[in-house]
Amino acid sequence: MKNNKLWLASLSALIAIPSAVYVVPVNDHVEAAKEDEKTSPKVVFKDVPSNDPYFEIINEMYNLGYISGYPDGTFKPNDKISRKHVAALLARVLPLEPVREAKQFKDVPKTHLYYENIQRVQRAGIMTGDENGNFNPDASLTRAQIAKIIDLAFDLDVKSNNDFVDISPTYWAKEHVMAVYSNGVMTGYGEYFKPNEKVTRAQYAIFLHLALNIGNNDQIAPANPPLAQPIKGQLTYYTESELRTTYAMAVSMYIIARQKVTMNEPDVVTDDELYFQDPSITGEFSEQNLLYLKRFVETDSEMERILDKWLNKDFSDIVWDYITLVTIADADNAAGDLDVFVKERTKEAEEYYIQKVFGEEALKRHKEQY
């Protein structure tokens, strides 16, 4: 059976007694390559490089004082935008005249950092709370919810209609979706709008920028990027429909994680580890492959949380991430006390692994991304 064969093969690769061992020496050479600062665009956030399709817009929003990042110099573009941050940005860019009485939310006391911003969007009639009197400031928002918020905030007119397969005539946010779509603020994915897909920080910054520039002839709405595909020859073992299942997604993710973890010494790579790593089953730890898996992972699942961390280059819990994924894939067969045996590879061992399994081009990609 397909699943059992893959499980046994991958488990064997991790726990097999090594037939040959390679101790990877510490790489003490200093890379000489450096970009010419005079000609390269200034990078404001270290996780939004100059080749990012939304680099210019995110930098412009930052320079205007509309958006900010984190103390570590990141923007975390792939993190889900929270309700409190949506409120803060709207309060920052719009006058927001009050149209109703203020409401005190149970979970937003006056000492809350975003209290004033949340009060402004609530009084402006743009955002409200739930039936229990909470605002849920840390909750994420869907594309449909963001469409409603932007429509109300900018008082948009519906200029034209478009029939999206997943937006029925009676859908609660249909008018809001049509308003943002017909004004070029949000686009669809072919014939789909994906109303329940969560919105990221980068996407919200783009939507807000487009809304602020409606009517500007020089403003061109960036098209939705094509659906992410894996690196050629990688991650082809499971079909797209299979990747929507918990098992296939967990297996695909934990096999990718093998690049960063081992049951040997952290600086050791064995023949057995290399032998069992078929690129068509696994894939290198790259943004392209992670974005491909992101298309199919279950929304709000533990696996999506791990993927989001990895996309933000957060590998601080990679050992526990790996153990979690192994357990999700097959809790009955997962060996006990894995945390005793699983270790994070050294940088040099990881690079040796990448070179041997995926080749020089993959190693080059890795160094550029990480």
| Digit-coded pLDDT (tens) for 270-285 | 887 877 667 677 789 9
Strand residue runs (E) in 258-363: 261-262, 268-270, 343-344
Q: Is the full-model pTM beyond 0.75? A: no
* C-alpha span between 252 and 233 (Å, rounded): 14
Radius of gyration of the chain, Cα coordinates, nearest whole angstrom: 23
Using one digit for the tens of pLDDT, what is the confidence trace for 126-167?
Answer: 999 999 999 999 999 999 999 999 999 999 999 888 888 889
Using DSSP bridges, classify how beta strands 268-270 and 21-23 pair: parallel, antiparallel or unpaired: antiparallel
pLDDT at position 226 is 55
pLDDT at position 24 is 55
Residue 287's Cβ-side half-sphere holds a number of Cα atoms within 13 Å equal to 16
Segments in the chain below pLDDT 50:
1, 4-5, 7-19, 27-39, 219-225
Q: Taking a C-beta distance cutoff of 8 angstroms, is the pair 10, 261 a contact?
A: no
* C-alpha span between 62 and 275 (Å, rounded): 47
* C-alpha span between 64 and 165 (Å, rounded): 37
Q: Taking a C-beta distance cutoff of 8 angstroms, is the pair 68, 92 a contact?
A: no
pLDDT at position 222 is 46
The C-alpha angle 23, 26, 28, rounded to 5 degrees, equals 155
Q: How far is CA 71 from CA 38, 76, 196, 201, in A?
A: 26, 11, 31, 16
